[in-house]
Amino acid sequence: MKQYKAYLLDLDGTMYKGDEPIDGASQFIEYLKAQDIPYLFVTNNSSKQPETVAEKLQTMGISATGNEVVTSALATADYIAEEHPGASVYMLGGTGLQTALVDKGLTIKNDEFVDYVVVGLDEAVTYEKLAVATLGVRNGAKFISTNKDVSIPKERGFMPGNGAITSVVSVSTGVQPTFIGKPEPVIMNKALDILNLPKSEVAMIGDLYDTDILSGINVSIDTIHVQTGVSTLADVEAKDIPPTYSYEDLNAVIKSLKGEVD
């Protein structure tokens, strides 16, 4: 396996499952740190602030700081601030999204007369919130969604994700949003800008083909599939564009980087 100068890493299914770390996750990060190889965790989660995501990793023995986490909320805020500095926004979502938008100088409003409507995962969503979002889009606001994940894993099972919430506004208005999170290039390009390395020197690691692996393919970087989450080896081998590599877990990736396996 090629030696890369930096890595982008998925979280759920790659580093942990729920609240349990996956064997090889902490070992891989320690290997990267020992080699002075930079890494970033790239997540579609817009509800949590980067520091909160890092704290969860730390409780599992995985070294992480807020500066090493790129969320779809951060990428969304950057996208809007670059396109329309100081814009007004009506949002559905958690504190992670709200903080990211405000930190970029954007104005949060609670009515439908705004420049942008942003939908992020909102576990307290109501009919009224969806109604205001719908009216905002109908009034001409640009429609943004942090990610298209239709379901997310929870302790009770797979629950409605942000894509499911977004679809209510899409169906009601007939308007498709601009998606920011994986597998879209927006969030990946933000992470690549932070690393500031040639694409040929960066690899994306993840378990789910349709988000993680495809996100790497969509920005023309190599991809490393780990068989510790949703997509199986058979799944990814059947794709028109398979990942660059597929390994049983991150322990196997370490062995390959050390030249102990192919």
* Residues with Cβ within 8 Å of residue 203, at least 6 apart in sequence: 2, 4, 6, 7, 8, 216, 221, 222, 223, 224, 244
Token digits of residue 51: 């520091």
Q: Residue ranges of the alpha helices (H) in 149-249? A: 162-173, 185-195, 214-218, 233-237
Q: Is 149 annotated as contributing to ligand binding?
A: no
Q: Tell me, yes or no, if 111 is annotated catalytic.
A: no
Q: Measured over all CA atoms, what is the biggest interatomic distance in the chain, rounded to whole angstroms? A: 60
Name the active-site residue from 10, 78, 122, 149.
10
Q: Is 249 annotated as contributing to ligand binding?
A: no
Q: Is 239 annotated as contributing to ligand binding?
A: no
SS3 for 195? helix
239 to each of 209, 214, 236, how far by Cα in Å?
9, 10, 5
d(CA 60, CA 62): 6
Q: Is 36 annotated as contributing to ligand binding?
A: no
Name the active-site residue from 12, 115, 122, 222.
12
d(CA 154, CA 176): 27
Q: Residue ranges of the alpha helices (H) in 199-238? A: 214-218, 233-237
Catalytic site positions: 10, 12
Give binding residues as ranges. 10, 12, 182, 207
Give binding residues for substrate as ranges. 182
Give binding residues for Mg(2+) as ranges. 10, 12, 207
